[in-house]
């Protein structure tokens, strides 16, 4: 499977890239084996709405694209709505991903959840620990598969944050 136009657009023109020094919640997830690392930052208003979100991702084009689309999908949403974000919804929003890149959508989901958990921890909000239970690592197998579409991993670079 070649990458969809949406994947390429979010890779080449990622939205909401950057760090957020005064974030209300920060989540960092990754897998050292395949090298994908995502850091998600959220700002939440008094009504529990995510009004700003940024990310930094070290990884392949699919990791960058899934981070980018995930930020767009949770911006303006309540914390509860953000917690319903699934990797399947991320894949669908990008019009698909190659099978060996599905783990990137899982990372995006996990980064959002980790940022919300951090927000809850900072604010002293009680939550059900099962909500943030660590899942089995879906990255192990997928990270060992070769890239599809003839893309050379050495040609994939992370764009610097734009000011």
Residues with catalytic roles: 34, 104
Contact at 8 Å (CB) between 43 and 22? yes
Q: Which of 7, 29, 18, 14 is nearest to 52 (CA)?
A: 18
Residue 94 CA to its chain's centroid (Å): 13
Report the distance separating Cα 18 and Cα 43, nearest Å.
Answer: 13
Report the distance separating Cα 85 and Cα 40, nearest Å.
Answer: 14
Q: Tokens for 84?
A: 């319903």
């Amino acid at each position: 499977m070649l990458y969809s136009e949406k994947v390429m657009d979010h890779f080449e023109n990622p939205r909401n890239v950057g760090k957020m020094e005064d974030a209300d919640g920060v989540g960092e997830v990754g897998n050292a084996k395949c090298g994908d690392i995502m850091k998600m930052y959220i700002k939440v208003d008094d009504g529990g709405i995510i009004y700003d979100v940024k990310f930094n991702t070290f990884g392949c084009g699919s990791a960058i694209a899934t981070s980018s689309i995930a930020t767009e999908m949770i911006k303006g949403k309540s914390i509860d709505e953000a917690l319903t974000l699934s990797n399947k919804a991320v894949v669908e929003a990008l019009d698909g991903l190659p099978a060996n890149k599905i783990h990137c959508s899982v990372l995006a989901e996990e980064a959002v959840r980790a940022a919300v958990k951090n927000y809850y921890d900072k604010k002293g909000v009680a939550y059900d620990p099962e909500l943030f239970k660590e899942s089995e690592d879906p990255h192990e197998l997928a990270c060992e598969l070769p890239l599809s579409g003839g893309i050379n991993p050495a040609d994939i670079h992370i764009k610097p944050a734009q000011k």
